[in-house]
A and B are shown apart, each in its own frame.
Chain A
Amino acid sequence: MNVVLAKSETRQAVSDVFASVRDRLPGAGKAAETRTQAFEAFERAGLPHRRLEDWKYTDLRALMREVLPLAAVPDANALNRAEAALAALPEVDGSRLVLVDGAFAPALSKLAGLEAGVHVQTLREALKDGRNAELLSNGTEPGAMIALNAAMATDGALVTVADGKALTKPIHIVHVATRASAASYTRSFLKIGKAARATLLESFVAADGAKSYQVNDAVSISVGDDAHLQHVRLMADSADATNITTVIFTIGAKVRLTTFNMTSGGGLSRYQGHLTFAGEGAEVNANGVNLLNGRQHADTTLFLDHAVPHCMSREVFRSVLDDRAHSVFQGRIIVRPDAQKTDAKMMTRALLLSDEAEADNKPELEIFADDVTCGHGATTGALDESLLFYLRARGLSEKEAQALLIQAFVGEAIETIASDDLREVAIATAQRWLEVRG
C-alpha cells in the first residue's frame, strides 16, 4: 500500500467532513474561529503515526486510517436503542448525564438527582452566540487528536462543584453510541471547588446497531486546593469501535485524587491522561486495567508532571491479554527541578494468556531534582504454573483457576477505588469479561 497516498486521502476526507458539518457545530464568531484554528492544527499534523515517539506503538495512520463522518443527531429510534443500552448498565445511585452520539440527551439523563452546590451546563449551551470560545482551546496540550476534538466537538457536560461542597453521590456521565460508521466528538469539563468532595463516573457503551464507530472525547478536570476527587472511567465500546480519549487533570494543593480507567471494549483505543501538580502536598493514585481479547489494541498513556514539591503519586497498571490482543502502557513521570521531596512510584504488569498477544511497556522517569524518591517497575509474563497447579489440586477447573488468578491480578489496581459502589461496578465489569471468556 502506498502510505503517502493513504495519508493524503485521509486528509482530504477529513477536511470534507469538517467543511460539511461546520454549520452544525455549536458556537459562532470567536468560537468558530477557534475551531478553524484547531482544525488547521490537526491538518498540519495529520493522524499521529509511529514515527512520533508518543505514538510509537499506536500508529493511527495504519490502525485508524480514516476519520469518519460526524454521527447524525440522534432520532427517536436512536434514543430508544440508547435507552435500552442504559438499562443494561449496573445501577448507580446519583445523577446521570447522557450523551448519545455526541449530543446531550435530556430525556435519558437524570438531573433531578443533582445535589445542591452542583451546577451543570452543556457545552452546546455554553458556546451559544460564540461565547466561551476558550472552552475549545487546548492550552499547551499538543497533539493532533485533541485538536481534532476541539474542531469537531458537538457537545459535552460542564460540571461545577461549589467550594466546600461534599457530594454524597457520584455524578455519572454516559456516552452511548448508536450509529454505524460515524464519529462523535465530546468535550467535557469538571471543576471541583476548594475543599469539595466529589465522585465522577464515566462510561462508554454501545447501543444495539452501533458498529465500527469512532469516539473522540476530551475531558478537562481541575481540582481546587484541599478537594478530594474520585474518578472512574469504564470503557466498554463495541469491539470494532475506535475510542481516543484525552483527560487533562490540574490539581491544587493537598488534593487527594484517585483516577481509575478500565478498558475492556473498543477495537482500537487510546486513553491519554495528562496530570499536572499545581499545588504542594497533593496525593494521586492513577490506576488502570486493560482486559483485552480478540484483536483489540488498547493504549494507556499517562503523563504525570510533578511541577511542585512535596507531592506523591502512585500508578498501578495491569493488563490481561488473550488471543491476539495488544496492550500498550506508556507511563511518564517528570520531576521538575524544584519539585523536591517528590515521591513517585509506577508499577506496570502484563499477563499474557496467549502466545499471540503482545504487551509493550514503556515506564519512563525524568528526574531533575535530587531529593526525591522515584521508582518504576514492569513485569511481563504468563500465569504462574505453580499457582494454577495449587488451585487445580484443590478441585478448581482450569478456567476457574485462571479466572481466580486474573481477578487477583487486576484486583490490585481496582482496590484503590474508595467508593464501594464504584469498586463493585469495576469488579463486575472485570467479572463479566472473565465470564465471556468462558
Chain B
Amino acid sequence: MAAVQETVDRVRRIDVDQYRYGFETLIESEKAPKGLSEDTVRFISAKKHEPAWMLEWRLEAYRRWLTMTEPTWARVDYPKIDYQDIYYYAAPKPKKALTSIDEIDPEILKTYEKLGIPLREVAILEGVEPPAGGEPSPSRKIAVDAVFDSVSVATTFKEELRKAGVIFMPISEAIREHPELVKKYLGSVVPTSDNYFATLNSAVFSDGSFVYVPPGVRCPMELSTYFRINERNTGQFERTLIIAERGSYVSYLEGCTAPQRDENQLHAAVVELVALDDAEIKYSTVQNWYPGNSEGKGGIYNFVTKRGDCRGVNSKISWTQVETGSAITWKYPSCILRGDNSRGEFYSIAISNGHQQVDSGTKMLHLGKNTTSRIISKGIAAGVSQNTYRGLVTAHRKATGARNYTACDSLLIGDKCGAHTVPYVEAKNSSALFEHEATTSKISEDVLFYCTQRGLSQEEAVGLVVNGFVKDVLQQLPMEFAVEAQKLISISLEGSVG
C-alpha cells in the first residue's frame, strides 16, 4: 500500500532533530583518569568518602568482573566496547560547598529546566496543570533526585519526606549515613556476581538513589530520579536501591536523557527493589536516552539490570516502562516472587525507530505459594530497527497455585524492521497455571479505512490505533509520567506512521 512507501520516506526523514534533549551543558567537570583498573575503583570510592567495607565490596566485584565475558545471547549487534576508553567518573566541578539549591551551578539548573524537571520544590512535572485554585495538593508533589553524570546534584523535598520517616537520598550519602541498611540490602537482589554488566556496575557505580520506606508508611509523594549523561566519553553507572518495609507503599519514577554525540556511550545501571510483607513498590521508567542519528551513529548503550524481590508475604512489585531511547537496550526488569501470595507485574512499551535495537522483557520467578504475575508488553518497531521481547516465566516445584498471564504484542511499521518474541515458559508443578499469547501484525487496513472514511487523516488514524495499542501500559503510569510518555510516543512515531 502507498502508506508503506510514505512511511519509509518519513522514517528516512526522521533525524536527530527529532530528539529534543540532545543539547549539551557546558560546565567544567572533574573526571577520573580514563580507563578501568583497581585504581579507578579506589578513586571513585575515595571521591565518595566511602567506608572501607564498601571499597572492599567494589574491589571484589572488580576482580570478579575481570574473569567474566560479555554476554552475546541477546539479539543486539554492536562493535566491541573498549572498556579502557571510558571515563568511569565525571562530576560537575563544585565551586564551593552547597548549602541550598540556589547554589547549584546555574548551568545545571538551566539544564534541568530545559528538560522540564523542577529542582526547586515548586510544583509538579511539566505538562500537568495544577488543579484550579492554585496550590498543588501534597499528593501531587514529586520529590526529585537529579543525577548529573556520576553524581547526584540535588534532591528535593528531603525535609518533608524525613518527617514521614522516608529516607530519600543519593546512595553515596546513604552509604555514609545509613551503612546498616545499605550493608543489609545492597547486592541482596542483584549479587555482585550476577552478570557482566551488573558486576561492572558493582565495581564502579558512582551514584543513584536510595529509598527506605519504614513500616506502615505510605510515601506521601512520588519519588523520582532524573538521570542525565552530559560529559563526553563517560559511562554512567548508577545504582538504585529501594526498600519498602512491612506494609509500606512507594511509587518511584525514573527518567533519563543524554546529549547527541557521534560516539556511543555506555550506561550500565543496577536497580534493586526489596518489598517486605504487605509492601508495594511501583517503579516506572520513561527511558529516553539519545538513540543515535538516522544513520545509526551514536546513541547510548543501555545495559541495565533491574530486579525486584517480593521477599515478604502479600508483597507486590510493579514495573512499568516506556522505552523510546537508546541505540541499544538490554534490559529485563524482573520479579522474584518469594513471599507467599506475592504479585509481580510488568507493563512495557518499547518503541524502536531508526537503527535502534531493543532486547527487553522480564523474568517472573515464582517461588512462593499462590504467587501471581502479569506481563503486558507492547513492542513497536519502525525504520530499520529490531525489537525483541525476551521473557521467562517459571514456577518452582513448591510454588503451588502460581499464576501467570502474559500478552506480548508487536506492531511493525515499515518492511525493514523486525519484531521478535522469545518467551520461555517453564512449569515444574501441576497447579501452576500459565497463559501466554503473542501476536505480531501490522495496522489493519480495515481499521485505517474505517477511520479515514470518518474524516481522520491517515496519520491521525495511525496515531489513534497506536495509542489504543499501548493504552494498557500507559494506564499504569503515574499521571505525571503518562503525559510525558504520551508525548514521547508521538515523537517516536512522528513521521514513521503512514
Contact = CB atoms under 8 A, between A and B. Distances in A.
Given A363-B423, A369-B415, A380-B425, A375 B434 contact: no
A357 B434 CA distance: 15
B427 interface: yes
B418 A354 contact: no
A377 B435 CA distance: 7
Contacts of B432: 352, 380-381
Contact of B418 (A356, A362, A366): A366
B441 interface: yes
Contact of A357 (B425, B430, B436, B441): B430
Given A370-B414, A375-B438, A355 B427 contact: no
Contacts of A361: 423-426, 436
Contacts of B419: 365, 367
Contacts of A381: 427, 430, 432-434
A357 B414 CA distance: 43
B420 interface: yes
B375 to A, nearest CB: 12
Contact of A364 (B397, B418, B420, B439): B420
A358 B434 CA distance: 13
B425 A362 contact: yes
B4 A370 contact: yes
B428 interface: yes
B70 interface: no
Nearest to B411: A370
Contacts of B329: none
Interface string A349-387: 010111111111111111111111111111111100000
A151 B426 CA distance: 35
A154 interface: no
Contact of B425 (A340, A352, A356, A378): A378
Contact of B440 (A337, A350, A360, A374): A374
A352 B429 contact: yes
Contacts of B424: 360-362
A216 B426 CA distance: 27
B427 A364 contact: no
B57 to A, nearest CB: 30
Nearest to B440: A374
A353 B427 CA distance: 12
A53 interface: yes
A346 to B, nearest CB: 9
Nearest to A342: B440
B423 A355 contact: no
Most buried by B among A355, A361, A375, A380: A380
A410 to B, nearest CB: 17
B260 interface: no
A378 B392 CA distance: 13
A376 B414 contact: no
Contacts of B437: 375-378
A359 B427 contact: yes
Contacts of A364: 420-423
Interface string B393-425: 000010010000000001011111111111111
A372 B421 contact: no
Interface residues of A, number: 35
A110 B103 CA distance: 95
B431 interface: yes
Contacts of B440: 365, 367, 372-375
A365 B415 contact: no
B73 interface: yes
B412 A367 contact: yes
Chain B contact-residue range equals 35 or more
Nearest to B425: A361
Given A364-B423, A366-B420, A376-B437, A353 B430 contact: yes
A352 B430 contact: yes
A434 B432 CA distance: 23
Contact of A370 (B415, B423, B430, B438): B415
Interface in A376-428: 376-382
B427 A352 contact: yes
Contacts of B428: 358
Contacts of A377: 435-438
B442 interface: yes
Contacts of A382: 430-431, 433
Given A372-B441, A373-B441, A374-B440, A379 B421 contact: no
Contacts of A337: 415-416
A378 B429 contact: no
A371 B442 contact: yes
Given A370-B414, A378-B425, A356 B397 contact: yes
A369 B419 CA distance: 9
Nearest to A354: B430
A374 B414 CA distance: 16
Nearest to A352: B430
Contacts of B430: 352-355, 357, 381-382
A357 B400 CA distance: 13
Most buried by A among B73, B397, B400, B419: B419
A378 B441 contact: no
B315 to A, nearest CB: 24
A379 B434 contact: yes
A370 B416 CA distance: 8
B442 A355 contact: no
Contacts of A369: 412, 415
Contacts of B422: 362, 364
A120 B320 CA distance: 61
Contacts of A340: 415
A4 B442 CA distance: 49
Contacts of B423: 361-364, 378
Given A362-B424, A378-B423, A355 B418 contact: no
B437 to A, nearest CB: 5
A355 B421 CA distance: 29
Nearest to B392: A362
B436 A355 contact: no
Nearest to A370: B412
Nearest to A381: B433
A12 B12 CA distance: 57
Contacts of A362: 422-425
Most buried by A among B73, B410, B439: B439
A54 to B, nearest CB: 12
A358 B433 CA distance: 13
Given A361-B426, A367-B419, A377-B435, 19 more contacts: A53-B73, A354-B430, A355-B397, A355-B400, A358-B426, A359-B426, A364-B422, A365-B410, A366-B420, A367-B410, A367-B418, A372-B440, A372-B442, A373-B439, A374-B441, A376-B421, A378-B423, A380-B425, A381-B427
16 contacts: A53-B73, A356-B429, A358-B426, A362-B422, A362-B423, A363-B425, A364-B420, A364-B422, A368-B418, A370-B415, A373-B440, A375-B439, A376-B436, A376-B438, A378-B423, A380-B425
- Going nearest first, the 3 A-B pairs with the smallest beta carbon separation are A352-B430, A370-B412, A378-B436
